[in-house]
Amino acid sequence: MSARELKERIQRRARQANLTLGPDLALGLERYYLLLAKWNARVNLTSFALAPGGEEKSVDRLLLEPLAAARHIPLGSRTLLDAGSGGGSPAIPLKLALPHLSLRMVESKTRKAVFLREVVRELSLTDTQVETTRFEELLARPDLHESTDVVSVRAVRVESKVLVTLQAFLRPGGRIILFRGPGGVDLSEAVTPPLMWTATYPLLETLRSRLIVLEKVRVGTR
């Protein structure tokens, strides 16, 4: 009964958020949530106390908010790096919504990284990698410099130093997407060249959440 309840809740909440879920996407979200609920009982993956049948706020935050953000990922984007992936949201729902994206999840805590690999295996996610390290340490790999179209950030404290590090992964013209709540910190002083603020989009009205988009300016662009 709980799986059926979850399926119905996901579809109902999606309709209320003006999101359309195809059958494959809906099934993937359901399976991911159930895995997350199962593992969260023994590994602290999220602060939500997840019930197998789903709870409205957790469904909105963990599943639907990333889908709302997926609408703002530019057409033609091929690669996504998620910094501080934790329990896999927003990265997993973004991958389910945009399966053509090559996804790299970066999570320094081993047990969380093990969970992420289990999700990749159980959901048969292609072109998806999990890096058990801090994202700062990945810059020791020259092949990752300016290799990424989109960097997503939710659970990482955002300050100028962090943004300087993350922009190094971006190709010129690439974007950082920052998931923020209704409060959030003013990023105006933290954003410095070659990054520039592009837009702030509302995500889910129920959460009063926003998506801040920063773009890496191309050389010679003002």
pLDDT at 188 over 80: no
pLDDT at 11 over 60: yes
Q: How far is CA 40 from the centre of its chain?
A: 18
Q: Flag whether 164 is in a domain.
A: yes
Total number of domains constituting the chain: 1
Which CATH number do you get for residue 70?
Answer: 3.40.50.150
Q: Flag whether 100 is in a domain.
A: yes
Percent of all residues in the chain with a pLDDT value above 70, rounded to a whole number: 96
Tokens of 105: 């999840």
Give the domain range for residue 186: 64-216
Q: Flag whether 99 is in a domain.
A: yes
Q: Whole-model pTM?
A: 0.94
Q: Flag whether 36 is in a domain.
A: no
Q: Flag whether 38 is in a domain.
A: no
Q: Flag whether 138 is in a domain.
A: yes
The CA–CA distances, whole Å, from 100 to 71, 116, 121, 126 equal: 14, 19, 17, 9
Dihedral sign from CA coordinates of 60, 32, 78, 197: positive
